[in-house]
Amino acid sequence: MFALVDVNSFYASCETVFRPDLKGKPVVVLSNNDGCVIARSAEAKKVGIKMGRALF
């Protein structure tokens, strides 16, 4: 049996679980090699941060 789970903003949501002080703030998760946004919280989406954008 296989299960597929689609969690909204998964990596950003995981960060807020481990860092409760980030809850309600714009949170982005960057890739290791190129610093591109791979996940963003709803607050980060409202601020206008785009997926794939390079942030350093």
Three-class secondary structure assignment of 1-56: CCCCCCCCCHHHHHHHHHCHHHCCCCCEEECCCCCEEEEECHHHHHHCCCCCCECC
pLDDT at site 29: 93
Specify if 41 maps to a domain.
yes
Confidence of residue 23 (pLDDT cuts 50, 70, 90): very high
**Per-chain mean pLDDT for the chain:** 90
| pLDDT score of 6 more than 80 | no
Specify if 54 maps to a domain.
no
pLDDT at site 7: 81
| pLDDT score of 5 more than 90 | no
Domain that holds residue 15: 10-47
| pLDDT score of 56 more than 90 | no
- Report the number of distinct structural domains present in the chain: 1
CA distance 23 to 32: 23
